[in-house]
Amino acid sequence: MRCNTPDTPVSDPGWPGPFKTTADAIMPPRSRCLRSLLIVGTLTLAGSSVAPDVARATLSSAVRIVLQKGRQYAPTDLYLRQGDTITLRNGDDGLTHHAFIEADRFSFDAGDQEPGAETRLTLSEPGDFVIQCGIHPKMKLTIHVE
């Protein structure tokens, strides 16, 4: 990719340095090019996301962190593969959480999680599961395990 610089001459006679344009004075050409590539890449990634509160794991045996904060899980939907591990991290300063799953073929109970505590859960069964908080009933995380 070739990065072009603006050809606008500096009109301020008091402008410091032997620069042909204001862009040359502010940032070297290589940095301008890299900045442009970074912006385009970021916008491409942002435009390709499914939704802001959905995460997709594509690597097998991956570890994902789920934050419990503000009486909600982040993300609220998580797509994983069988064998992946999630870490439930209590990110609240003053709230205790109690994550659990009750399903026909799979159950999990983290017990009370004090602020800053982490609990790991390895997903060994395929299916859709809902992690709830025993203390805050509106907190729900749906896990989709392939």
Mean pLDDT to the nearest integer, 9-13: 49
**Count of Cβ atoms closer than 10 Å to residue 64 Cβ:** 17
User: pLDDT digit string (tens) for 103-120?
Assistant: 988 889 999 999 999 999
Specify the amino acid at residue 106: F
Q: How far apart, in Å, are the Cα atoms of 73 and each of 98, 102, 126, 144? A: 12, 17, 21, 15
pLDDT interval class at 28 (50, 70, 90): low
pLDDT at 130 over 70: yes
d(CA 68, CA 100): 13
The confidence score (pLDDT) of residue 106 equals: 83
Q: Give the mean pLDDT of the chain.
A: 75
- In the chain, DSSP finds a helix count (H) and a strand count (E) of 2, 10
d(CA 9, CA 22): 7
The confidence score (pLDDT) of residue 120 equals: 95
pLDDT interval class at 62 (50, 70, 90): confident
For strands 72-74 and 63-69, give the pairing. Answer: antiparallel
Mean pLDDT to the nearest integer, 129-139: 96
Domains and CATH numbers, the chain: 1-48 (no CATH), 54-145 (2.60.40.420)
User: pLDDT digit string (tens) for 73-104?
Assistant: 999 999 999 999 999 999 999 999 999 999 98
CA 67 to mean position of chain CA atoms: 10
